[in-house]
Amino acid sequence: MNKPTGPLDPTAIPTGERPGSRKVYQAGERWPDIRVPFREVAVHPSAGEPALTLYDPSGPYTDPAVTIDIDKGLPRTREPWVVSRGDVEIVETPREVKPEDNGFASGAGLAPQFTAPRRVYRARAGAGVTQLDYARRGIVTPEMEYVAIRENLRRKASDPFIKDGESFGAEIPDFVTPEFVRDEVARGRAIIPANINHTELEPMAIGRNFLVKVNANIGNSAVLSTVADEVDKLVWSIRWGADTVMDLSTGRNIHNIRDWIVRNSPVPIGTVPIYQALEKVNGIAEDLTWEVFRDTLIEQAEQGVDYFTIHAGVRLPFIPLTAKRVTGIVSRGGSIMAKWCLAHHRENFLYERFEEICEIMRAYDVSFSLGDGLRPGSIADANDEAQFAELRTLGELTKVAWKHGVQVMIEGPGHVPMHKIKANMDEQLKHCHEAPFYTLGPLTTDVAPGYDHITSAIGAAMIGWFGTAMLCYVTPKEHLGLPDRDDVKQGVIAYKIAAHAADLAKGHPTARAWDDALSRARFEFRWEDQFNLGLDPETAREFHDETLPKEAMKTAHFCSMCGPKFCSMKISQDIRDAARQQNEVASGMDEMAKKFRDTGGEILVPVTAAE
């Protein structure tokens, strides 16, 4: 897993299975040709328990049977599903790449084109090809069965689980069926971001009643990174568990870099089209036009982008509401549109043209991520009128998008102190008709630049518990610089922690098994199992070996914290053994325990009772 050495050296992309893990697949029943990937973590035979199945968004990169060639892109396994529905047509003359698509980059400054040939699809005239369209028509698509199998983590409907959690009114099923997925999509409560031109995709769902997902942002900026760096960041982030990736590239080569990313991505790719549109008008917001934006939507839709962040809620009347804020407008897209609105003193053209935008996105099944351009950028601005006025607007736009059969999720903050987080979820549920919520953090304090993956993991875990469907990661570099490879890893892991903590607290049927398997390994000193079952086996092993390097120590029944003579886990195992083996003691203890309980846990049990 080295950093790419050459610009397009495929061998540099991180591949191979995770430690102690095996890539496994489960076939569909309705659609036997679908193969849903999982990561199976084996445990030591002494454990006497089966291997643990984990959700696996890492794609073919962790399958040793697959040869990766980023020049060719990933296998287009979804193409037959898309074509066989008979409602799409091949775009005979796809939009041609224009110089402005790459910021007029040329010569050595121009990133290489992705050259492997592919067809570009579009819905036949009048055809509804979105997952929402199909769901409404009662159709279970391969994407829906794929998602159902994926969410169950190989649990069977009959497998028992510990019901324990508080889901705040979510309707998490004990077992996910394809019909359940269809119904959640049909009512807009979940989305399956799946552009018909992103046939390399491994479908996934974003919804309050599914596992909480994590998004990682990548993208070059000011020509700081190469194509290989971005593909590497993509593969790197999904290797650690990112469920979707947003390409936030600005500056030059946006088009070509995006081609490489989409063609090599098994996860949904999201973008903020206004970024590229702005580049096309040389970064001058006032010069933005509907025509430039529309052309950019088609450009990206044909490339296969799965969801677009559209800041249509930044309405002219709301802008003055930000004037007295401590940090004004901090969303890039939001500030671009605000500047355009003020310059022309006109309503946001994304708002005025919203139905036209819907028609374009519908033809490719691009999902909306309705942007929160007025999200708070500081604790002081949290939950203010500008933020909630926009949120209510996003609720209105959600209904418009649904009318056109386009899938929708809603973006959320931002910077919010803990006591104001729940109100964000409640307002979103109230005004956005249960469309999935997708939040950036929120950061629970402003005072820790350099550690905002932590300030925000706190808020992310809480809002995920309250019902947010996807958490957009924040890296340690937030507010300070561009995330490098390690920042991406740190951000993804902090957010996998937040997402799983939320699944646990919601009582998701598959959540507890993971914690319990790891804790059993910990208690039984199965060090290798503890490492491999963790989010980051390599780091866990490295930390352990710093103080107890010897291989023998991996089986030692103690650790460096207490040393051999003095180990709480060992002592309490002795206690358990004693309780098990010495019958008279055991029964004596059970009797004592019973007596204790019978007395209602009364504390002053005479000591004699214990003798």
Residue 333 annotated in ligand binding: yes
CA distances from 86 to 135, 177, 294, 466 (A): 16, 25, 27, 40
Report the nearest approach of a second copy to the CB of residue 195 (Å): 26
Residue 529 annotated in ligand binding: no
Report the amino acid identity of residue 263: R
404 strand-pairing partners: none
Q: Note if the bond before 14 is cis, omega within 30 degrees.
A: no
Distance CA 127, CA 291 (A): 24
- Choosing from 346, 403, 430, 557, the residue that interacts with a second copy (CB under 8 A) is 346
Nearest to 400 by CA among 439, 438, 437, 356: 356
Instruction: Note whether 293 binds a second copy by CB under 8 A.
Output: no
Q: Which is nearer to a second copy, 109 or 450 (CB)?
A: 450
x/- string (CB under 8 A) for a second copy, residues 592-611?
Answer: xx-xxx---x-xxx-x-xxx
DSSP letter, residue 443: B
Report the nearest approach of a second copy to the CB of residue 513 (Å): 10
Report the nearest approach of a second copy to the CB of residue 510 (Å): 12
Distance CA 611, CA 609 (A): 6
409 strand-pairing partners: 369
Report the amino acid identity of residue 556: A
Instruction: Note whether 399 binds a second copy by CB under 8 A.
Output: no
Q: What angle do CA 409, 232, 215 make, to 5 degrees?
A: 20
3-class secondary structure, 215: strand
Report the amino acid identity of residue 217: N
Instruction: Show contacts with a second copy in window 301-330 (CB under 8 A).
Output: 315-323, 326-330
Report the nearest approach of a second copy to the CB of residue 258 (Å): 17
Report the amino acid identity of residue 387: Q
Instruction: Note whether 530 binds a second copy by CB under 8 A.
Output: yes
Residue 246 annotated in ligand binding: yes
Instruction: Show contacts with a second copy in window 235-254 (CB under 8 A).
Output: 250-251
Nearest to 418 by CA among 444, 455, 394, 398: 444
Q: Which is nearer to a second copy, 192 or 416 (CB)?
A: 416
What would the two tokens of residue 226 be? 């190469």
Instruction: Note whether 533 binds a second copy by CB under 8 A.
Output: yes
Distance CA 245, CA 226 (A): 17
CA distances from 78 to 110, 143, 200, 262, 305 (A): 31, 9, 6, 14, 15
Report the nearest approach of a second copy to the CB of residue 240 (Å): 11
Residue 472 annotated in ligand binding: no
Instruction: Show contacts with a second copy in window 480-519 (CB under 8 A).
Output: 480-482, 484, 493-494, 496-498, 500-502, 504-507, 512, 514-516, 518-519
Instruction: Show contacts with a second copy in window 549-588 (CB under 8 A).
Output: 559-563, 565-569, 571-576, 578-580, 585-586, 588
Nearest to 469 by CA among 207, 255, 124: 207
Cβ of 481: how many Cβ atoms within 10 Å? Answer: 13
Size of the site for a second copy (CB under 8 A): 146
Report the nearest approach of a second copy to the CB of residue 567 (Å): 8
Q: Which is nearer to a second copy, 268 or 467 (CB)?
A: 467
Instruction: Note whether 433 binds a second copy by CB under 8 A.
Output: no
Distant-in-sequence, close-in-space partners of 197: CB < 8 Å, separation ≥ 6: 120, 121, 301, 302, 303, 304, 364
Instruction: Show contacts with a second copy in window 211-230 (CB under 8 A).
Output: 221-222, 224
Instruction: Show contacts with a second copy in window 267-286 (CB under 8 A).
Output: 278, 282-283, 285
Report the nearest approach of a second copy to the CB of residue 83 (Å): 39
Report the nearest approach of a second copy to the CB of residue 315 (Å): 8
Residue 331 annotated in ligand binding: yes
Instruction: Show contacts with a second copy in window 38-97 (CB under 8 A).
Output: none
CB-CB contact of 412 with 439 (8 Å) = yes
What would the two tokens of residue 605 be? 């049990």
Report the nearest approach of a second copy to the CB of residue 27 (Å): 28
Instruction: Note whether 173 binds a second copy by CB under 8 A.
Output: no
Q: Which is nearer to a second copy, 137 or 595 (CB)?
A: 595
Distance CA 333, CA 278 (A): 10
Distance CA 257, CA 233 (A): 12
Report the amino acid identity of residue 29: E
Q: Which is nearer to a second copy, 78 or 258 (CB)?
A: 258
Question: Which segment (65-73, 204-212, 294-302, 526-534) binds a second copy by CB under 8 A?
Answer: 526-534
- Where is the binding site for substrate, in residues? 217, 246, 275, 311, 331-333, 372-375, 411, 438
- Which residues are annotated binding-site positions? 217, 246, 275, 311, 331-333, 372-375, 411, 415, 438, 479, 559, 562, 567
